[in-house]
Amino acid sequence: MTLILGIESSCDETAASVVEDGLRIRSNVIASQHDLHERYGGVVPEIASRAHLERISPVIQEALGAAGVSLNNLDAISVGNRPGLIGSLLVGVNAAKAMAWAAGKPLIGVDHVRAHLYAGTMQADANATVNPAANETYPALGLVVSGGHSSLYELTSPLDMTLLGRTIDDAVGEAYDKAAVILDIGYPGGPKLDKLAQTGDGSDYDLPRSMLDKKSLDFSFSGLKTALLYTVRGKPQGRGRAARFERSADDLNDTQRANMAAAFQDAAIDVVMKKLNRAIDYLTDQARPPRSLLIGGGVSANSLLRSRAMALGVKRDIKVYLPPMSLCLDNAAMIAGLAHHCFINNQFDDLTLEARSTVSL
Ligand code: KG4
Ligand code: ZN
């Protein structure tokens, strides 16, 4: 059995969790900073790192306390060390190093994006006994849809994956956040837009679905975002800062706003679903059909994506892993969960572990 502490601080959530054997979540503490960033309409990196500094120790203490364990009971200390906001990552990485050094425990640096893909195979149930990740899951097709990523992967295990495609401009979560600014519906944009879209009818507005080349597994969302801007505000006169629009988001009535949100959501999720189908076809043609589909990242909380992914699973006869809602957004349970697989594969780090804002995969 392994008992691992996970620490996550890559963006604007300070989180810590204790996980047993990579699947039983003994505690999952998340301190969100949404209130601090709301007035700026997005995450302010300097504010985020300062808030992590204030919160990291109490959050870790709470996670250990809720799990009923002390530092001495742990087998390892894991931390999301890449990719993310560098100042934010540094707080978690330094906390993990200090604890690992003080308690003489192994240190494990975990890739945040890979951890999002692993989250779907974990269960919120503290008594889970069977890890679905071990059986009939791999090879898998992985989709990460978050504020920083829209990527497809082929996975042969929780730790081994190859990139199949990624966004060439905005990530899907980023597009949601920007669309919410265009529609002036507040922060955080993704969940608000999702909620509003569920009350609207998107059929009044025909927004583009960018599929790129016929066989491309890459994504592009910037055209959809611009099309929404023009739908909301009309075609601009002039260019750049001098551009003047025909109207503003204030001129929309509630029905128009909800219908535009629905049209955006239909188009964005349509593209994701088409690319998923394309990737399944591609891997099947290559004689490497995926046994399952792993979906992770903040946008995996999206209502339309969840329902359409489940329908795709039935249609394509493929098992679909969607994280429980508590593991969709940034959390440390997914970090501690994936760290279990590093642990059993003897993948440890030492105190030279670095925070890295980007990764090459
Ligand atoms: O994974 P995450 O917490 O942070 C990153 O690693 O980026 O993802 C955050 C992103 C944000 O862009 C947020 O707007 C989006 O996930 N998001 C959603 C929903 N919930 C969160 N987007 C669409 N629909 C949602 N329900
Ligand atoms: Zn994330």
Three-state SS at 292: strand
- Which protein residues touch ligand 1 with a CB less than 6 Å away? 11, 146-148, 173-174, 176-177, 188-191, 194, 297-299, 301-302, 329-330
Q: Nearest Cα to 260, choosing from 182, 190, 189, 186? A: 182
Helix (H) / strand (E) containing 165 = strand 161-166
**Quick one: which atom of ligand 1 is closest to the CA of 305?**
24
Contact 146, 10 (CB under 8 A): no
- CA 280, 285, 289, 290 dihedral sign is negative
Residue 49 pLDDT = 96
One-letter amino acid at 353 equals L
- Per-residue pLDDT of the chain (361 residues), as tens digits, is 999 999 999 999 999 999 999 999 999 999 999 889 988 888 899 999 999 999 999 999 999 999 999 999 999 999 999 999 999 999 999 999 999 999 999 999 999 999 999 999 997 555 555 555 556 899 999 999 999 999 999 999 999 999 999 999 999 999 999 999 999 998 889 999 999 999 999 999 999 999 999 899 999 999 999 999 999 999 899 888 888 999 999 999 999 999 999 999 999 999 999 999 999 999 999 999 999 999 999 999 999 999 999 999 999 999 999 999 999 999 999 999 999 999 999 999 999 999 999 987 6
Put residue 91 in one of left, alpha, beta given phi > 0 → left and psi -120 to 50 → alpha: alpha
Minimum-distance ligand to the CA of 148? 1
The rounded Å distance from CA 244 to ligand 2 centre is: 36
The rounded Å distance from CA 292 to ligand 1 centre is: 23
Q: Nearest Cα to 109, choosing from 126, 91, 98, 96? A: 96
72 φ, ψ to 5°? -65, -25
The rounded Å distance from CA 196 to ligand 1 centre is: 15
DSSP string, 54-112: HHHHHHHHHHHHHHT--GGG-SEEEEEEESS-HHHHHHHHHHHHHHHHHHT--EEEEEH
Three-state SS at 161: strand
Residue 243 pLDDT = 86
Q: How far is the C-alpha of 59 from the C-alpha of 15, rounded, in Å?
A: 6
Q: Which residues pair with 319 in a beta bridge?
A: 292
Q: How many CB atoms lie within 10 A of CB 2?
A: 16
pTM (predicted TM-score): 0.93
Residue 59 pLDDT = 98
Q: How far is the C-alpha of 31 from the C-alpha of 139, rounded, in Å?
A: 34
Contact 319, 313 (CB under 8 A): yes
Give 204's DSSP letter.
G
The rounded Å distance from CA 301 to ligand 1 centre is: 7
DSSP string, 235-267: PPBSSGGG-B-S--GGG--HHHHHHHHHHHHHH
Residue 155 pLDDT = 97
Q: Could you tell me the strand order of the sheet in which 140-145 lies? A: 161-166, 150-155, 140-145, 292-296, 319-321
